[in-house]
A and B are shown apart, each in its own frame.
Chain A
Amino acid sequence: MKIGLEVHVALPTRSKLFCGCSTAETQEPNVNVCPICMGFPGSKPSLNESAIIIAKSIADALKCKIKDKISFVRKVYFYPDLPKSFQITQLQDSIGMEGELTLDSGKSIRIRRVQIEEDPAKIIRGEDHSLIDFNRAGIPLVEIVTEPDIADKDELKSFIFVLKAILYYIGVDIDREIKADLNISLGKERVEIKNVTGTKNLIEAADYEIKRQGELIKMGIEPIKETRSYDERTRTTASSREKETDEEYGYIYEPDLTEYDVKRYPVKTSINPVQKAKELALKHSYSENSILEAIAFDRQALETIEENQDKFEFKTLMQAINEIKRFKVGKLDDESLRMLIDEIAGGFQIDEDVIKSVIEHKKVEHNRVSSSELDRQIREFIDKDRRIIDRYKKNKKLVDYVAGEIIKRYKAQPKEVLKRAKEILDSLVK
């Protein structure tokens, strides 16, 4: 099976690709528009150079060969979402060529091309009419085209996850849904599923299409070359009934733009979170997956880990990271982090109160009980249900249950509770 992708990602620039209009998302339609992005006669594009910097960084992160000089082309087709009836995009002189993305499994997926282009407008379909919102027209995109190296659904998932993680570290807003065209061929011919929006739909569309083609082949039918579209509601793909000729876009060089010397633009040094997770896992003999999960879309988590990995026990540090994520408190300062780690190391439950004290650098209050009181509580708990002793005989782990109940009730010092519970149970068993 061969799966290839063409992924479209909106670049985090403040203004559009060829005009000064804002790229901010807004509910009101057709407000971020001007003669240039509306294609008014006489207007001309001028390139937003920050798009080059970001696209170059993406191409670099995907290990592409970066072109020294890039140019743009006109891709001509008639559609109401296209203000000029052509899209300014790139072809042979795309910013990045021949790169690769390494999945967390270690397999690498070849990248054919990374190109800069403008987004068309958005069409909002109604019952008996369509509306066009030109706010989106001219938003800078990169299109990332892979070779058909993805072998199954899991690799597809992994590809999207890793790609998004890399893009996250370049500053791409990954909450904006990605759009992609999906090529899947189980047989000889390529089936293209156009305009799938969002990761979930992408996986489901692939899933359906793999099954559909698989069943055809089982019945001895060769899937035909065609373009299909994905229906979110039914979770199926259907033929778009387009004529199956090769697309004719009549490309010419964009004569309103010149060549751009890419060497003049800096690359934002990118971080590959998969690589980072690997390094950290190796260094600290820790689970690579857990690290990747913690840092994939969390720059602050990665910073905290890198800054503190040699100061604390790594496992405790990772627990602290997960608590920070759970309570969504951003990045902790050194003192707060140290306090949190002390709590975790002391075996205390972390709750809102603890987090609050830690952030405010206030001593965390625990219900300190005396040793005799603690003993009394434990014995009383066991007395209520003497079967605990028999069960403890068979399974020593039951001590965790007893200690847990006591800790829950009294927020007492966990390590000591555990120690006393064990001693008491052991003495009772004898």
Chain B
Amino acid sequence: MSSYTEEFESKQKPADYYAKLYEELERINEKFNAFNVLVKATGNGMPFSVKDNICVRGIETTASSKILKGYIPPFNATVVDRIIRTGRFSLIGKTNMDEFGFGSFGINCDKPAKNPLDEGRVPGGSSSGAAVATALLKYHVAIAESTGGSISAPAAFCGVVGFTPTYSVLSRYGLIDYANSLDKIGFMARSADDIKIMLDITKGLDKRDSTSSSKPIHRVKHNNLIIIKELMDKVEDGIKSEFYKFTDKLKGLGYNIKTVDFRDIELSIPSYYLIAMSEASTNLAKFTGFKYGFKVEDFSKNYNDFFTEARDKFGEEAKRRIILGTFIRSASVRDKYYLKSLSIRRWMIDKLSMLLKDAFIISPTMPILPPKIEDANRMTPVQNYASDILTIPANLGGFPHISIPFSYSGELPLSAQVIGSHFNDYGVISFASDWEKNFKYKFKYNLGDL
């Protein structure tokens, strides 16, 4: 085991370690906007952060939305509870994100986070702050969340390890929902071993989340790696050639690489977005401005005007998804959009499960390098959604996957994503762990070093 957590635990810490760290983070956060809230840590545990759509009792939790400004949850998310209960971790803050998780680049919020490796570029989203914090801090683990790629994408763009478990392995209690049937809490860290520590602590059945599972997770290591041709077709040439160098290296390490066809895999994009927007538009219905978060002052208004005033606080992408989602659910098109998307998801799960029976699926994590901020802002929603093609299949099917850096293009990392079969969470983590024995990740910042 070579985890930063255990290294941190074994080291002598100065008495003012957390106070200094807090000051340092306050300063650097001015520049990178990694945190929505910084917390003065208590205890003497490994620093950890929580994505701002996951509830921490007594600390403002807004999911980077103005409509939730001032929402202080009266309870902890189950995952947060389980981590705190070990006494091994100290909370340092709530991390920035695309509003409610709606975005692939981290730009859909008031104060977008910036990529520490190149401030002119996006950090990836929606768990932008979690990735930036992991890239900045030497000793730190992040609780993040992925619906369609919100862990893999920013982990890849910031050059850290990002893990998304099998759907149902981690309780979602305390997560502010984006799309409940797709949302998965997961982790980012600087090593696969740190992720395993987090998973061991947090996994398993939770009575408060009916979709959580008591099934044991396993560790099956496969020597067979599958590349899906149709996915590679979407990858930028520069990244593609570097990726093939990586797979050659893997061959040298004893892996068998096979390329297969998967016709219509791109149907996962519309299927994913239709389901996600349908569910999101119902989840966002509760924000009407009178019980929590932003509150409308004028109670003389009639109810329609009252909640319309509140709902004006949603950002543009949130409004887009509410409108599209509401349309998709309407009686006249529900069959052809919502229900059909559900059947595509079932079909996708069956097909991928077959492939994953005795292999991992491997691909670059993102088809592009982190775009410049102004380029990302110019992209149309459809271009935006298309950039998720590599992360969506695993997310749509609820398969465990991990994103790991495999090379660097200048300062910028290139990352690969490895997908395993349902409940083979330890399998994909140990693949990453093995890779780390042959490849050393580069980190530009090491705040809080000892």
Where the two chains meet, the residues of A that have a C-beta atom closer than 8 Å to any C-beta of B are 35, 38-47, 74, 76, 78-80, 83-86, 129, 246, 248, 250-253, 255-258
Contacts and interface: CB of A to CB of B under 8 A. Distances in A.
Nearest to B285: A85
Interface residues of B, number: 46
Contact of B330 (A35, A80, A248): A248
Given A46-B208, A251-B329, A255-B279, A41 B286 contact: yes
B67 to A, nearest CB: 10
Interface stretch (B171-179, B350-358, B436-444): B171-179
B209 interface: yes
A43 to B, nearest CB: 7
Contact of B176 (A42, A45, A248, A251): A42
Contacts of A44: 172-173, 208-210
Contacts of B342: 253
B211 interface: yes
A76 B329 contact: yes
Contacts of A74: 282
Contacts of B338: 252
A43 B180 CA distance: 12
B207 A255 contact: no
Given A42-B174, A256-B210, A76 B61 contact: no
In this complex, the member of A46, A129, A246 whose beta carbon has the largest number of chain B beta carbons within 10 angstroms is A46
A41 B292 contact: yes
Interface in B258-297: 278-279, 281-282, 285-286, 288, 290-293
Contacts of A76: 281-282, 285, 329
Given A35-B74, A41-B71, A252-B338, A83 B291 contact: yes
B68 A41 contact: yes
B180 A256 contact: yes
A42 B173 contact: yes
Given A78-B288, A248-B330, A251-B329, A42 B282 contact: no
Contacts of A255: 179-181, 211, 279
B341 to A, nearest CB: 11
A44 B77 CA distance: 11
Interface in B169-212: 172-177, 179-181, 207-211
A46 B71 CA distance: 23
A252 B282 CA distance: 9
A117 to B, nearest CB: 16
A44 B342 CA distance: 22
Interface string B71-96: 10111010000000000000000000
Contact of A78 (B176, B179, B285): B285
Given A255-B181, A256-B211, A258-B211, A41 B73 contact: yes
Contacts of A80: 288, 290, 303
A42 to B, nearest CB: 4
Contacts, number: 105
Given A42-B75, A85-B286, A250-B334, 13 more contacts: A39-B291, A44-B172, A46-B209, A80-B290, A83-B286, A86-B282, A248-B331, A250-B281, A250-B282, A255-B179, A257-B210, A257-B211, A258-B210
B207 A46 contact: yes
Contacts of A257: 210-211
A129 B300 CA distance: 8
Contact of B286 (A39, A251, A252): A39
Contacts of A129: 299
Contacts of A253: 181, 342
B304 A40 contact: no
Q: Which 3 A-B pairs have the closest CB atoms?
A: A85-B285, A250-B329, A255-B180
B326 interface: yes
Contact of B75 (A35, A45, A250, A258): A35
Contacts of B177: 41, 256
A46 B288 contact: no
Contact of A250 (B172, B175, B181, B326): B326
A35 B77 CA distance: 12
A80 B175 CA distance: 24
19 contacts: A35-B73, A35-B75, A40-B73, A40-B291, A43-B174, A46-B208, A47-B210, A74-B282, A80-B288, A83-B286, A85-B282, A86-B282, A246-B331, A252-B329, A255-B179, A255-B181, A256-B177, A256-B210, A257-B210
A80 B373 CA distance: 41
A43 B74 CA distance: 10
A217 B54 CA distance: 60
B55 interface: yes
A42 B180 contact: no
A43 B71 contact: no
In this complex, the member of B177, B282, B293, B330 whose beta carbon has the largest number of chain A beta carbons within 10 angstroms is B282
A255 B334 CA distance: 16
Contacts of A246: 331
A42 B304 contact: no
Contacts of B8: none
